[in-house]
Amino acid sequence: METKVGIVDLQITEEGDVVIEWTDGDICNYRGKHLRVNCACAECVEEWTQRPLLNPATVPSDIRPEDFLMVGKYAVQFLWSDGHFTGIYPFDMLRKLCKSS
């Protein structure tokens, strides 16, 4: 049986990075812009074709998460400094982004 990994702690640094400590002991540091340009919500990615709608060049380099909400035991939702808030980042997506950041 596969064990799902959860979040022990999530912090937003003064620099605008996100640091997540996972239940398996891993600690991941994400740049704000890296997370924002990887948002997979319907405003950022076309729902049926998965074509990106968000142009990464339009995301400010100093973008930062202002706040976050835990969504059940499977995802995180961020409120971004550009006003965007509809993206939900499932834990498995965050784990993959950790390896690519």
Cα separation, 31 vs 23, in Å, equals: 21
Q: What is the pTM of this model?
A: 0.90
DSSP per-residue string spanning 49-89: T--B-S-GGGS-TT--EEEEEEETTTEEEEEETTS----EE
Helix (H) or strand (E) holding 18: strand 18-22
Q: What is the CA radius of gyration of the chain?
A: 13
| pLDDT tens for each residue of 53-90 | 999 999 999 999 999 999 999 999 999 999 999 999 99
Pick the CATH number of 7-100 from 3.40.630.10, 3.40.50.720, 3.30.365.10, 3.30.2020.30: 3.30.2020.30
| pLDDT tens for each residue of 2-17 | 458 899 999 999 999 9
